[in-house]
Amino acid sequence: MKYPVYIVLMFLLSFTLPSCEDEVVVEDMSCSLQTIQHDIDSDTIVVTYKIEGEGKYKVSSWTYQGVEGEVTLQDPVIPSEVTLNFFGNALPRVKAVVTVVEGAVKVSFSAEAADSTYVGIDQCQQQIN
Q: pLDDT digit string (tens) for 67-101? A: 999 999 999 999 999 999 999 999 999 999 999 99
pLDDT per residue over 42-70, tens digit each? 999 999 999 999 999 999 999 999 999 99
* C-alpha distances out from residue 115 to 42, 43, 112, Å: 9, 11, 8
Strand partners, 15: none
| CB-CB contact of 2 with 76 (8 Å) | no
Global pTM reads 0.79
ω into residue 4 within 30 of 0, thus cis? no
CA dist 125 and 40 (Å) reads 30
Strand partners, 72: 63
